[in-house]
Structure 1
């Protein structure tokens, strides 16, 4: 795999070694192989790692297949992939509700990742999961097209530099226009499928909720995640007495809707290499 990257205009002059290690998070073993094989070039010339690079320089990295592991995925149906954004490194797709994000068994071939694997096969690429959506949740999901960019996106996710906004329909009339739910979430010891609010065993979880419209029985909400815990929005809304409509795990009346009323409506981030703003919306929304 060959990667060609032009350093954007706002790049500070830095050593090539620092760029690879601290900015692009290339693992030590892979950096060693790149250096010994002379598989790093700057503007077409093999360059020692101690030399400086600057804005406008073209960095070429040549990776061998053995440098990174490649996921073994059964190929699904490429026609089921709805692309919202794509370039050489990133892929954002619109996941339908009722579809798992990734397989749990090698033989599975009906998850989103299987379908994306089929979509990327003609490019001789494989998909790498950056984050996931629950099976019952629809909407925008970010996928790495190569293992080189994966740790960079992972760091961005941890640093809250990837913004995800969800649409939901909650049960009941939420009186506030805006609220922040800051309650720790942990595993439910009695039901491995579920999560619970747990001050002692839980992990920090913060959800910002804006109420767009209400009726006597429902509230149309927009949720922004500050953290990314499993079932975070579902558990947080249930904890304030307003579970999502159609939620089979956290709403005592899930039959009120044919599906869980939660949709990842938008996803935005600063591209890790070009520094351009990527902002996509997954249509249609819930409201």
Structure 2
């Protein structure tokens, strides 16, 4: 693999070492390969890692096949891939409800398989959406960018905004649910608010109260399994169509990842995508 990256203005006058470690968040193992094999060039010239790069410099990064473990995946159908954004390193797609993000066994076909079929090589999951949830989801197109994006996700540099329809009306317009979430010991399919669980923070904004339901916007600071569903159920406002945590039925789970935004780790380009959902909008009309 070989990648050519032009240094943006924000990164000028920084050493190669700091560029890779602090700006591009390249993991130590990959930095070691690049250093020992002399597989990084600036303007097609070998460089010392203490040399500085300037705006407009072209950095070439090379990886050998043995630098990454080989990945095998069964290809799905590329026709199922609804692309919201794509470049050399990342692809953001609009996941339909009812489709798994990734397979749990070799015989399953999920969105990951379809995206890999579109790319004609394995894609890599950066974050997940529940099977019942639709919307914007980010995949890495190579194993160079994957750990960088994973670190960004961990550092809350990838921002996700969801729209949801919940049962009942709220007596507040903006609030935060800061309650740890863990697995329900009595039901493996469920998560619960638990003092022994992992930190989970959901910021909630009420968009509109209808007669019996409310349209809300949720922004995640963490990414626990079923986080929005568990937190709103804990607040006594379970999601419409949630067969696990709620009671009010609908054609689908009323949870949709409508927006995904972040600064591209290599170019500082602002990436912001919005994912439409006809099924969410149609079901919202029924309840509103």
**1:18 matched to 2:18:** yes
Residue-by-residue CA offset, 1:10-31 (whole Å, 9 max, x unaligned): 1142221232233333344433
Distance change >3 Å, CA 215–CA 269, structure 1 → 2: same
2:94 counterpart residue number = 94
Residue pairs, 1:19-34, within 5 angstroms = 19-34=19-34
Which region of structure 1 is more displaced relative to structure 2, 63-72 or 273-282?
A: 63-72
RMSD of the alignment, in Å? 1.5
Distance change >3 Å, CA 282–CA 72, structure 1 → 2: same
Give the length in aligned residue pairs: 280
Residue-by-residue CA offset, 1:65-123 (whole Å, 9 max, x unaligned): 22112432100000000000000011000000000000111232x200000010000xx
Q: Give the SS at the match of 1:234.
A: helix
2:114 counterpart residue number = 115
CA distance in 2, matches of 1:140, 1:26: 25
Which region of structure 1 is more displaced relative to structure 2, 154-163 or 240-249?
A: 154-163
Structure 1 residue ranges without an equivalent (≥5): none
Contact 2:25 2:151 in 1 (8 A): no
Contact 1:24 1:149 in 2 (8 A): no
Residue pairs, 1:232-251, within 5 angstroms = 232-251=227-246
Residue-by-residue CA offset, 1:19-77 (whole Å, 9 max, x unaligned): 22333333444333323333211001122323222222111011112211243210000
**1:214 matched to 2:209:** yes
Q: Give the SS at the match of 1:258.
A: coil
CA distance in 2, matches of 1:71, 1:258: 37
Q: Give the SS at the match of 1:207.
A: strand
Contact 2:27 2:148 in 1 (8 A): no
CA distance in 2, matches of 1:164, 1:29: 29
CA distance in 1, matches of 2:33, 2:174: 52
CA distance in 1, matches of 2:13, 2:189: 49
Of 125, 141, 147, which aligns to 1:129?
125
Moved over 4 A (4+): none
1:50 counterpart residue number = 50
CA distance in 2, matches of 1:212, 1:33: 50
Structure 2 residue ranges without an equivalent (≥5): 282-288
Q: Give the SS at the match of 2:119.
A: helix
1:263 counterpart residue number = 256
**1:164 matched to 2:160:** yes
